[in-house]
Amino acid sequence: MFSLENKKAVITGGGSGIGKAIAETFARQGAVVHIIELNEDNAIQTIAGIKEAGGKAFAYGCDVSDQEQVKKIFEKIGELDILVNSAGIAHIGKADTTSVEDFTSVFNVNVKGTYNSLHEAIPRLKHRGGGVILNIASIAAIVGIPDRFAYSMSKGAVFAMTLSVARDYMQDHIRCNSISPARIHTPFVDGFLAKNYLGKEDEMFEKLSHSQPIGRMGSTQEVAALALYLCSEEAAFITGNDYPIDGGFVKLNN
């Protein structure tokens, strides 16, 4: 079950965090993985690990907010079977404390970046006879999160794009779903704690972990396992859905 043998998967943001875990998981299941990543060094390190484990992978340095860059990369990759839009950036701030520069930056990466990949991938999926698109949204798209105005805006847009694409390309045999993680333990979390809570990292880590009913953060591997299912043939009847992976945050946090 859950084999991706002979599938070509493109993963944006696949050099670190959730995207990296998805890339590694897909490669283990037989996919040829193409990582699009702003930090090309991270992408190269990720594909080195995949190759060492016997998988096949390629790396491309690219700013997903730049449509011309994205177009050139997809022209190099050619046809594909799976697109995972995982590239994204976070931001902390409310509506009146978010600068226009930060708002635009979050929009350009999280929203425009997703659009740019969709714009290039969908014609190739149609030519292929179908395929799968998976967008990484967030629980911030469906519940109110303090101090996450721009980020919530962007992930709400990703969720809406998921529904639109699922509807528009159903007849082309293209499935589109999204995953909405809660707090996942990634290098970003460690960096955030080191920057903002120097000397109190462990204390704040525990506090953030217990903000979720299950009492801990999720792992990138757990998100990758859900991504694998949604991109596999076992999920062939699933499209136009969002899947929170949140330790009970959305429904049980009261």
Average pLDDT over residues 213-238: 97
Q: 170 and 205 in one domain?
A: no
Helix and strand numbers (H, E) in the chain are 10, 7
Find the range with the poorest average confidence among 84-93, 101-110, 188-197: 188-197
3-state secondary structure of 204: helix
pLDDT tens digits, one per residue of 129-161: 999 999 999 999 999 999 999 999 999 999 999
DSSP 181: E
Q: 37 and 93 in one domain?
A: yes
Full strand arrangement of the beta sheet holding 82-85: 56-61, 32-37, 8-12, 82-85, 131-136, 174-181, 242-245
User: Is residue 168 one of the residues assigned to a domain?
Assistant: yes
**CATH for 123:** 3.40.50.720
Q: 194 and 92 in one domain?
A: no
Neighbours of 251 (CB within 10 A): 10
User: Is residue 253 one of the residues assigned to a domain?
Assistant: no
User: Is residue 1 one of the residues assigned to a domain?
Assistant: no
Q: How many domains does the chain have?
A: 2
Q: 157 and 136 in one domain?
A: yes
Side chain identity, residue 140 = A
Active site residues: 151
Q: 28 and 105 in one domain?
A: yes
Q: 206 and 83 in one domain?
A: no
Q: 107 and 199 in one domain?
A: no
Q: 58 and 16 in one domain?
A: yes
Average pLDDT over residues 207-220: 93
From residue 148, give the alpha-carbon distance in Å to each of 59, 91, 100, 206, 229: 31, 6, 14, 20, 29
Residue 193 is predicted with a pLDDT of 87
Residue 196 is predicted with a pLDDT of 79
How sure is the predictor about 254, in pLDDT bands with cuts at 50, 70 and 90?
A: low
pLDDT tens digits, one per residue of 160-209: 999 999 999 999 999 999 999 999 998 888 887 888 788 999 998 999 89
Q: 115 and 203 in one domain?
A: no
**The dihedral of CA 188, 189, 194, 196: what is its sign?**
positive
Q: 94 and 41 in one domain?
A: yes
Supply the range of the domain harboring residue 195. Answer: 184-217
pTM: 0.95
Q: 208 and 115 in one domain?
A: no
Q: 244 and 135 in one domain?
A: yes
pLDDT tens digits, one per residue of 44-54: 999 999 999 99
Average pLDDT over residues 9-13: 98
